[in-house]
Amino acid sequence: MSAHVVESVSLSATNPGCYTVRLFRRKLLIQEPKVSVLLVCMGNICRSPMAEGMLRKRVAERTFPLPVEIDSAGTHGYHEGARPDPRAQAAAKRRGVDISTLRARRVMAEDFERFDLLVAMDEDNVAALLEQAGEQHQHKVRLLLEFAGDEGRRNVPDPYYGGTLGFERVLDLLEEGMAGLLEELERIAASRTAEGARRG
C-alpha cells in the first residue's frame, strides 16, 4: 500500500456536457496495480505532468477499469517540489484536466524497479534514463511517440521557453501517443492476468 494519485471527476455547473478530472494524492487501501508507468521529461513541470494528466483522463474514461499506477518525474531535479508550470496547468485545464496539485520530482534509482514502463518525451530524456538504468531495466525505457505509429516524429518538444501555442502543440502530440500507450498498458495487464490464471 502506498500514496497514489487518484481522480475526482466533477461536472461543470455552467456546461453540463463538460467535466474535469482533478488529480490529488492520498493514501488508499487498495490492491496493488498490475501495471505501472512513469512519464518522464527534463524538469517534470511541463510535458510529463501534462502527459500524466492526459493518461489518467483516458483511463478514467474507459468502460472497464484498468489496474494501473501512473506517475511522472524529471531526469533533472531543477524544480523539485514545484507545481507544474502555470502555462501547462492552463493548457491542461482547457482540455478538462486539473494538474495543479501535482509536484515535481526527479527520477530515482528505485523507479526502474518499480515501473513497468518509463516513457520519455524526447531522445535526450531517453539517453538520461538509459544512463541511469541498469542493463536489466533498459528495455523499459520508451519514447512516447513510439506509441503514436508515426515513425517520422520522435520527440515531444519542450515548450518551456515558448508561448501558449507551444503548450497546445505538446498536448496535441501527447494525445497522439496516448491511445497506443494505453493499448500497451492493457497488453501488459492482460498478460499478467493470464499468467496469474495459469499459476492458479
List, in order of start, the domains of the chain with CATH numbers: 32-199 (3.40.50.2300)
Give bridge partners of residue 27 from the DSSP assignment. Answer: 3
pLDDT in tens, 66-98: 999 999 999 999 999 999 999 999 999 999 999
Catalytic, 41? Answer: yes
The pLDDT score that the predictor gives to residue 27 is: 39
Please give the model's pTM, rounded to 2 decimal places. 0.84
Q: Which amino acid is at 52?
A: E
Does residue 105 have an active-site annotation? no
Q: Answer whether residue 37 shows pLDDT above 80.
A: yes
Q: 22, 46, 47, 71: which one is catalytic?
A: 47
Query: pLDDT higher for 157 or 64?
Result: 157
Higher pLDDT, 22 or 179: 179
Q: Is the per-residue pLDDT at 129 higher than 60?
A: yes
- Residue 2: the pLDDT is 41
Residue 158 among the catalytic residues: yes
Q: Where are the alpha helices (DSSP H) in 97-146?
A: 111-114, 123-132
Mean pLDDT of 36-55: 98
Number of residues that this document lists for the chain? 200
The answer to whether residue 35 scores a pLDDT higher than 80 is yes
- Kindly state the average pLDDT of the residues 13-34: 50
Between residues 34 and 29, the one the model is more confident about: 34
Pairing of strands 68-74, 35-41: parallel
Name the catalytic one among 85, 111, 122, 158.
158
**Is the model's pLDDT at 194 over the cut of 70?**
yes
Q: Which residue has the cell 487498495?
A: 30
199: confidence class by pLDDT, cuts 50, 70, 90: confident
Q: Which of 41, 46, 122, 142 is catalytic?
A: 41
Q: Are 104 and 44 in contact (CB under 8 A)?
A: yes
Which secondary-structure segment (H or E) carries 167?
A: helix 164-199
